[in-house]
Amino acid sequence: MNNQLQDYDPSGVAQINGNLLALPFNYESANLIVFGVPWEVTVSYGAGTAKGPQRILDASTQLDLFDFDHPDGWKQGIFMEKIPLDILEKNEYYRGLAAKIIERLEQGKPLTDSPDLTQLLTEINQACLQVNQWLFEQCKEAIDNGKRVAVIGGDHSSPLGYYQALATRYSNYGILHIDAHADLRDAYEGFEFSHASIMFNAMKLPQITKLVQVGLRDISHDEVQMINQSNGRIVAYYDPAIKQKLYSGTTWIDLCREIVSHLPEYVYISFDIDGLDPKYCASTGTPVPGGLELEQAYMLFRELINSDRQIIGFDLCEVGDAEWDGNVGARIVYKLANLMDLSQQRSYGK
């Protein structure tokens, strides 16, 4: 532990210092580095998730630090890098351009109609690629420095660069994906890096050997076909099927153990907040009735750890621009940070 902690009281009033949870760590002293990615250029329904990282940061200072799973988890050292304002500004610009493309498609007209929008689409895809590359470089540097990493989106396209960075470190890892949507669309609305295409793009990485999706309830025919034809690489737990089993007497813990059994040793958690019941996240980009309770998600993550699998990273995405959503989001980020620390402590026999 560093000198910054000598006078730090985890039960005291948070001294606002710009860091997540107002913790007294910096990049050097922290073990977990958190990157906010204020990006939602391709959102096709509700906007506001680009402000999610700031909402979470603001709300986090009101949280108490005692965690029932890992009471001293905060001592691992958590530091959130400054949210890049240049990316936020680019987001506003390219979001406006993307809206023109979405409007044209919703009118049932080709992009080549006058005025021709094909060049705009190329520009947007290039801008998204640049954000992915920026995040890849940031995450890879942190990983090379021995740090753990977490990402707060933005929309769900945000963490792709982090998946790519982990693929340089792990030759075989799985993704546990909490979401109302499968996100398996190929370049949805023409956007190569659409929020609805994040898992389609993840599946292009051979290092990701398994994708286990939980809570899906708003899905296209093509996505179901892709799941069914994946030869078991993608396993889907649809929300209606989960509910039917629970209402018929199956216990959630048994379902959790079954879900976890599909995953390899190293597991990344990708958490779209709309995987939860919308009472937790009414301002998310694409809310859908149904979904998990927050404690159901936590139990699933606990069973992941109890199975001796290791959590190697996580993201939280699609948190809306509302105080309540930021409050819930901050709690999820802190819980995931502590569970990841716990899983890695167990893995290394500490």
Of 217, 196, 206, nearest in space to 277 by CA: 217
* CA pair distance 315, 77, nearest whole angstrom: 18
What contacts 12, CB < 8 A, 6 or more positions away? Answer: none
The reply to whether 179 sits in an annotated binding site is yes
Cβ neighbours of 3 (radius 10 Å): 8
CA atoms within 13 A on the CB side of 90: 17
The reply to whether 183 sits in an annotated binding site is yes
The reply to whether 155 sits in an annotated binding site is no
The reply to whether 9 sits in an annotated binding site is no
The CA dihedral of 276, 159, 196, 93, to the nearest 10 degrees, is 110
The reply to whether 272 sits in an annotated binding site is yes
Q: Which residues pair with 198 in a beta bridge?
A: none
The reply to whether 325 sits in an annotated binding site is no
What contacts 328, CB < 8 A, 6 or more positions away? Answer: 273, 276, 280, 281, 294, 319
Binding residues for Mn(2+): 156, 179, 181, 183, 272, 274
Binding residues: 156, 179, 181, 183, 272, 274
